[in-house]
Chains A and B, each alone.
Chain A
Amino acid sequence: MATLTKPQAKSAFTPSLVLLLSMIWALAIAVYSIYLAWRIFNAEAFDVRESLGNTVQYFFGFLSLVPAVLGIFSALGFALLITNPERLNLYQRIADHELPPAQGIDRIPLLGRYVFLGLNYLGTVLSAFYLLHLWDVFIGLDEVAEAIYENRVLLWGLVGAYLLFWLSGKIIRLQRTLELIALAVGSISFILLLLFSGVHEALIYIAGQYDSLIVWIVTAVVIIFGIFTYNALQMGRTFGETPEQSIGWQGWMLVSPNVIGFGLFLAGPLLLSFYLSFTNAKVGQVPKFNGLENYTTIFSLQLREQKPEHQYPIEALDSDYSIVHTYKLGNTRYVLGARDARFWLSLENTLQFCLMLVPLATIPAIGLAVVLNSQLPGVKFYRALYFLPSVAAVVGTALIWRTALYSSQIGYLNYAIEQIINATNAIFGTDIENPQFGWLIDSRLQLFSVVLLTAWQIIGFNTVLFLAGLQGIPNALYEAASVDGASRWQQFRHITLPLLAPTTFFVVVTTIINALQVFNEPYVLYSREQQVPDTVATAVYHLYLKAFQSTSGNELGAASGFGYASAVAWVLFALIFSVTLLQFRVSRSGEER
């Protein structure tokens, strides 16, 4: 079938010429990468902006040798084909299903082609990326935003178009007309936006970049890479590729954006972070490998007894330790010290935060979910209402809570408490005094205030998760129970709670994982102060200070900078990861049962 329908592809080049060119190009890539590796190995300052140290330099040196090996390999594959034209013929017949595929195919040319394809594809992407960089497109996004801002009136056109579209879905009768109007309004304002925001200026600017040679070279390289990629894609028949194999590279092409992104913004950074955590990297300093020093600094804890000759507890500790806590057992006082005392204090805060947040964010959510889990009209509306706080930005809500609720003079929280107390006093004749809580000022309340805000934000989200869990509980169980005369509470206690356990576990774990990374809430609530108070400083906040604010006097005995912060991050990662693993274990064992 396929042979009949598919006409023989006539190419301007004979296959062998294309193969020869490809081979030369593969060798060129190999030579250039060897040259690049040599340059990297001999470079004095590897990175112009901030050196990352010799290790990274060598890593990149070896990395750029990889394309050299691959290039030589694919060139070898091409060479094999060129020197043996009979193979070409054989492959074409396999591709046309005249011969079974398994016979007589050398793996080297076929693999070589894939390697060549991959190399050229990556080459196209990377050089195009570099070209865009040379064109200043990435930085130029600022200008685009600026231009949109200057012509922001036109944005209303887009908003109007969107609303019209939305409306057209509601009014069936006018759907067609409304859609047309919306399309017209949208496209006109978009075109005007493009016109006014200076597309032509941008093009002129890019053309202006071509006064330097490097831009020309990179453009040429992009084009050559592109041509060879396209060509390698079309060469399937030459190499006797079966449709299954063709699907293979198509699949890789489709996931390639994800893979590249994964490498650039996840795997690569993860490696870098791991490396940095073993160095003393700091701003304006070439990182030096310092082994486990960062980690030992973090984990340096000391429990000492305060002897009578020590006037202050701190004297019981070694000189570079500071106090985390003091304990009193009988008549002796013990001092717990650490080299990075603030890390331990912030970790303690974070754990306390988790402990308080989990019940506050799950128990009301279960209650709400149980109430919402009915077929009554309007329940979906309430479900959406309860979800609204989860949609709002923490920065906004924290500011609202700070000014409108937590303020001790004009805050509604204290106002409500005052009203309740007054009412109680009036009704029962009691004499309770108004406590006038200082929600954000009182050091005993500060952490709780942060928890309250966070719980308020995630209750709606947890409710939706619980609702999903509740919908999985068969109704027949409740019916049977009510026939047996079980009360509502008994039903809840003996049916709902046990059957909801997996969901509860999931919700609790998710809440914990998010709580371990809490940063925004304390930061925004205390953004008016110089620093977040010690009672609410969380682990991520500590990391933030160590990495980015290391000059602002948060030293307290321990190291700081990117290296140390990376080590802190990995310790946190380990903590979070163990919680995640626990969840995986439990949910898997649940499935097996």
Chain B
Amino acid sequence: MQKRTLSQKLSFWAERGLLYTLLTTVALLMLFPLIYMVIASLKTTVDFNSNPRRLLPYTHVTEALAGRQEVPVYEFSVNDEEKRYLISQIDANNSDKSDFAYLGEVADLEAKVKLGSHAEQRRNIDVLGIIPIAYRNEEGQKIRIEDQTLTLIPTENIVQLAGNNSIFENFRVYDVFIDGELVQTWLDSIDQPVPLKAYMLPTIAEAGEELTIKVSEPITLLDARDSDRDYDSVIVSSPTQETTLVWAYNASIDVFLDQENPQNVIYAIESFVKPVEVIEFQFSNYEAVLGLADEPSLRMDRALVNTAFVTILVTIGQITTSLFGGYAFSRMRFRGRDTLFLVYLGSIMVPFVVLIVPIYRLMTALGWEDHLVSLIVPWIFTAYGTFLIRQFFITIPKELEEAALLDGCGRLRILWRIFIPLSTPALATHAIFTFLYAWNSFLWPLIIINTGNKEDQVLTLALITLGNINADKPNIVMTGAAVMILPPMIVFILAQRYFIEGIATSGLKG
């Protein structure tokens, strides 16, 4: 007996646990877009586009060396030790940077390019060598090596360079001859000029051997979609061997300074280096969208106020007209009432599609097009709401009203004193439906309000504009969506008890 109860208990709890797990999983899946919207609205743009994907909002840590501008911090592992480095330049548009190129072997690159998307493969190309393709000589002139033969003499010096994933590799330093002349060169993006000659993989040449690099004819490679592209190629020759390399990737090389000892410099490509990040919520996104920051192209505050204004007026209007109508249809006997009610009920079946053109014409005739009034007045009359309220009023016992009538109460007083307090659930349902309908309406504002008219924009229109103009700032688009979606959600959560029961009993939609 005891044992059986235990197993029953177990299966009972197992079933419950299973049910709740199922419910929670489905809820998480269903709500994922909304949850993500809220999280992403607190991200930075860089973080939004980060690869691999991550949910929480991370922000790049910035710090400043004494007396300088704040710059992002990166992490390197130097001799198995995690160290923090600051990037020396943050302005990507700064033309003072030198162009560098990755070189890859032809066959290797070809295989990779053919596999799939080129953009994807670019990242995985093994770095055979990095050489500067532009120098600045002592007179400050820029020299490009295209169409020139570059002669390199490996020196005994080795430089450490960060490759993929911030892992260091040793590179040999070379003396560079351009057309037979030794040129002293500097990288010009560094704070203090550090003479960097050039670097190649040490396997190609031994120290002291002379290397020549010659820009040769472009090589055409086919990618997975069979579209071809020309890649510049370079012939590197040492006394023992000759290799053809391809310019696989053009990038700017960044300079990283050791936080503790700024003389300690690392050269690496920024996108390959691991940034130092912390979880931080970007409430500034909301400030921008709500107009608290000075960014006119992102503001939606005017549209928010307009939408609230329109929605509240429409809701009040609908409630008023449907209260009167519902009361009359349920409690007053007048000639033609039932016919009128049937016709009115039938009008629920008329889809908005048929009314778009004529109401638009009506609005132009009244001179209301492009004004907020066109979003309010045509929508304060509702057959559906009248029907809903009437159905509810019918259930209220007649005796209550008759007593009041005998006491000499007027009809409006009865409506106000007896019917409204008794019908809170129906009114709440109707009010929330109207609220949602007015807040979310899109097609009508799209037709009647001009896109250029910033004064009379509502949220739906403003959000579309925001989404289209700022497609490069998806985090801001998410913030806009949150501003649009969250207020009705809060209203719904506060009143959902009435609301869901209201739908269930009326079985109709707004």
Binding site for B on A (CB under 8 A): 47, 49-50, 52, 133, 138-139, 141-142, 144-146, 148-149, 152, 155, 166, 244, 247-252, 254-255, 257-262, 264-270, 272-273, 276, 368, 371-372, 374, 376, 378-380, 382-389, 391-397, 399-405, 410, 412, 415, 436, 456, 459-461, 464-465, 467-468, 471, 506, 510, 513-514, 516-517, 519-520, 523-524, 527-528, 540, 543-544, 547-548, 562, 565-566, 569-570, 572-573, 576-577, 580
Partner of B354, one of A402, A456, A573: A573
Q: Give, as a whole number of angstroms, the nearest-CB distance from B44 to chain A.
A: 14
Q: If the complex has contacts A468-B507, A517-B353, A580-B349, are A387 and B496 also in contact, measured as CB distance less than 8 A?
A: yes
Interface of A, helix, strand, loop or mixed by DSSP:
helix
Which of A400, A461, A528 has the most chain B CB atoms closer than 10 A to its own CB?
A400
State in angstroms the CA–CA spacing of A259 and B386 once bound together. Answer: 11
State in angstroms the CA–CA spacing of A388 and B27 once bound together. Answer: 10
10 contacts across the A-B interface (CB closer than 8 A): A141-B376, A257-B324, A258-B383, A262-B344, A262-B381, A272-B361, A276-B361, A397-B34, A412-B36, A569-B356
Segment touching A, from B126-134, B213-221, B363-371: B363-371
Q: Give, as a whole number of angstroms, the nearest-CB distance from B65 to chain A.
A: 34
**Interface presence of B305 (CB below 8 A):** yes
List the B side residues contacting A393 at CB < 8 Å: 439-440, 442, 459-460, 484-485, 488
Q: If the complex has contacts A269-B358, A517-B353, are A385 and B334 also in contact, measured as CB distance less than 8 A?
A: no
State in angstroms the CA–CA spacing of A523 and B461 once bound together. Answer: 12
State in angstroms the CA–CA spacing of A18 and B324 once bound together. Answer: 30
Check B373 against A543 for contact (C-beta < 8 Å).
Answer: no
- Interface mask (B21-52 → A, CB under 8 Å = 1, otherwise 0): 01100110011111011001000000011010
Check A50 against B478 for contact (C-beta < 8 Å).
Answer: no
Check B51 against A258 for contact (C-beta < 8 Å).
Answer: no
Check A396 against B324 for contact (C-beta < 8 Å).
Answer: no
State in angstroms the CA–CA spacing of A191 and B368 once bound together. Answer: 29
Q: If the complex has contacts A138-B373, A273-B357, A276-B358, are A456 and B30 also in contact, measured as CB distance less than 8 A?
A: yes
State in angstroms the CA–CA spacing of A576 and B509 once bound together. Answer: 16
Segment touching A, from B79-87, B158-166, B188-196, B462-470: B462-470
State in angstroms the CA–CA spacing of A259 and B485 once bound together. Answer: 34
Q: Can you name 17 extra interface pairs (CB under 8 A) apart from A266-B381, A267-B347, A576-B353?
A: A47-B365, A155-B308, A251-B333, A255-B325, A261-B381, A371-B22, A371-B23, A372-B23, A378-B20, A385-B31, A386-B30, A387-B496, A389-B33, A396-B485, A399-B480, A461-B509, A528-B468
**Interface presence of B337 (CB below 8 A):** yes
Q: If the complex has contacts A395-B440, A456-B30, are A141 and B372 also in contact, measured as CB distance less than 8 A?
A: yes
Instruction: Name the CB-closest residue of A to B310.
Output: A145
**Interface presence of B68 (CB below 8 A):** no
Check A399 against B371 for contact (C-beta < 8 Å).
Answer: no
Check B36 against A547 for contact (C-beta < 8 Å).
Answer: no
**Interface presence of B107 (CB below 8 A):** no
**Interface presence of B492 (CB below 8 A):** yes
State in angstroms the CA–CA spacing of A249 and B358 once bound together. Answer: 31
Segment touching A, from B139-147, B279-287, B497-505: B497-505
Q: If the complex has contacts A254-B324, A388-B489, A540-B353, are A396 and B27 also in contact, measured as CB distance less than 8 A?
A: no
Check A152 against B325 for contact (C-beta < 8 Å).
Answer: no
State in angstroms the CA–CA spacing of A258 and B384 once bound together. Answer: 11
State in angstroms the CA–CA spacing of A524 and B462 once bound together. Answer: 12
**Interface presence of B474 (CB below 8 A):** yes
Q: Give, as a whole number of angstroms, the nearest-CB distance from B168 to chain A.
A: 30
Check A403 against B478 for contact (C-beta < 8 Å).
Answer: yes
Instruction: Name the CB-closest residue of A to B306.
Output: A145
Counting from the closest, the 7 A-B pairs by CB-CB distance are A261-B381, A251-B332, A251-B334, A269-B358, A468-B504, A254-B328, A393-B440
Q: Give, as a whole number of angstroms, the nearest-CB distance from A7 to chain B.
A: 14
Check A265 against B301 for contact (C-beta < 8 Å).
Answer: no
Q: Give, as a whole number of angstroms, the nearest-CB distance from A428 to chain B.
A: 22
List the B side residues contacting A471 at CB < 8 Å: 504
Check B381 against A392 for contact (C-beta < 8 Å).
Answer: no
List the B side residues contacting A146 at CB < 8 Å: 455
Q: Give, as a whole number of angstroms, the nearest-CB distance from B463 to chain A.
A: 5
Check B33 against A397 for contact (C-beta < 8 Å).
Answer: yes
Instruction: Name the CB-closest residue of B to A433.
Output: B116
Check A247 against B356 for contact (C-beta < 8 Å).
Answer: no
Check B33 against A384 for contact (C-beta < 8 Å).
Answer: no
Check A139 against B359 for contact (C-beta < 8 Å).
Answer: no
CB-CB contacts below 8 Å: B468-497 with A: 468, 471, 474, 477-478, 480-482, 484-485, 488-489, 492-494, 496-497
State in angstroms the CA–CA spacing of A389 and B16 once bound together. Answer: 26
**Interface presence of B302 (CB below 8 A):** yes
Q: If the complex has contacts A152-B305, A262-B347, are A248 and B335 also in contact, measured as CB distance less than 8 A?
A: yes
**Interface presence of B388 (CB below 8 A):** no
List the A side residues contacting B372 at CB < 8 Å: 141-142, 145
State in angstroms the CA–CA spacing of A523 and B31 once bound together. Answer: 23
Which of B51, B353, B456, B477 has the most chain A CB atoms closer than 10 A to its own CB?
B353
State in angstroms the CA–CA spacing of A53 and B52 once bound together. Answer: 63
State in angstroms the CA–CA spacing of A577 and B347 once bound together. Answer: 11
Check B364 against A50 for contact (C-beta < 8 Å).
Answer: yes
List the B side residues contacting A506 at CB < 8 Å: 507
Check B358 against A520 for contact (C-beta < 8 Å).
Answer: no
State in angstroms the CA–CA spacing of A252 and B333 once bound together. Answer: 9
Q: If the complex has contacts A257-B324, A261-B321, A261-B381, are A392 and B489 also in contact, measured as CB distance less than 8 A?
A: yes
Q: If the complex has contacts A148-B305, A464-B504, are A258 and B321 also in contact, measured as CB distance less than 8 A?
A: yes
Check B500 against A399 for contact (C-beta < 8 Å).
Answer: no
Partner of A276, one of B16, B357, B496: B357
Q: If the complex has contacts A393-B485, A404-B37, A461-B503, are A577 and B464 also in contact, measured as CB distance less than 8 A?
A: no
Partner of B31, one of A251, A383, A388, A394: A388
Q: Give, as a whole number of angstroms, the nearest-CB distance from A539 to chain B.
A: 8
Check B463 against A399 for contact (C-beta < 8 Å).
Answer: yes
Check A401 against B33 for contact (C-beta < 8 Å).
Answer: yes
Check A273 against B354 for contact (C-beta < 8 Å).
Answer: yes
**Interface presence of B352 (CB below 8 A):** yes
Check A141 against B355 for contact (C-beta < 8 Å).
Answer: no
State in angstroms the CA–CA spacing of A538 and B189 once bound together. Answer: 55
Check A572 against B362 for contact (C-beta < 8 Å).
Answer: no
Q: If the complex has contacts A152-B305, A461-B503, are A566 and B440 also in contact, measured as CB distance less than 8 A?
A: no
